[in-house]
Amino acid sequence: MIAIGSDHAAFEFKEAIKAYLTEKGYALEDFGTCNNERVDYCDFGFRVGEAVASGVCEKGLIFCGTGVGISISANKVKGIRAVVCSEPYSAKLSREHNDTNILALGARVVGIELAKMIVDIWLTTGFEGGRHLERIQKIARYEGGDNCIGTQH
Ligand code: RB5
């Protein structure tokens, strides 16, 4: 199950990505927003982040005007590694090297066709593990309160 959410600035963008992925056979859980009324992007970043961190959803897609505010919010949820990007290269590498579990896009930054390409690549690229695993484990240790800066694995 893929969690999806946006603020008002990206509502139509979310609906377009939702229709695109549903057509491709993905199962999605929509955490809102559900219209153009002004909302706080952080609520949707937190909701999608919690759905992914808890394991209810395996990955998440979040959108706001720039992708910035909603990605910052999702990254405050323990266990979330959200990337905001506007091109496929970073989306791909964020999966291979950083095992990102949430992708954020800016509806006012990327066109919908580019967005579909980025989403496709992000959803279908796997994590490489190895040395990259040790680094994300270190991030998790730091997040858990361990002052592991500069320590060896
Ligand atoms: C809403 O106007 C806008 O601030 C929001 O969508 C987002 O871009 C914040 O980072």
CATH number of the domain encompassing residue 80:
3.40.1400.10
How many residues appear in the chain? 153
Q: Is residue 133 part of a domain?
A: no
Q: Which domain holds residue 116?
A: 2-127
- The sign of the CA dihedral 122, 60, 114, 83 is negative
pLDDT in tens, 43-102: 999 999 999 999 999 999 999 999 999 999 999 999 999 999 999 999 999 999 999 999
What does R_g of the chain's alpha carbons equal in angstroms?
Answer: 15
Question: Which residues surround ligand 1 with Cβ inside 6 Å?
Answer: 7, 9, 41, 64-66, 68-69
So what's the pLDDT on residue 136?
96
Task: Inform me whether the pLDDT recorded for 152 exceeds 90.
Answer: no
pLDDT level of residue 10 (50, 70, 90 thresholds) = very high
The answer as to whether 138 is a domain residue is no
The answer to whether 97 is a known catalytic residue is yes
The count of domains in the chain is 1
Query: What is the distance in A from the centroid of ligand 1 to the CA of 118?
Result: 20
Residue nearest to atom 3 of ligand 1 (CA): 65
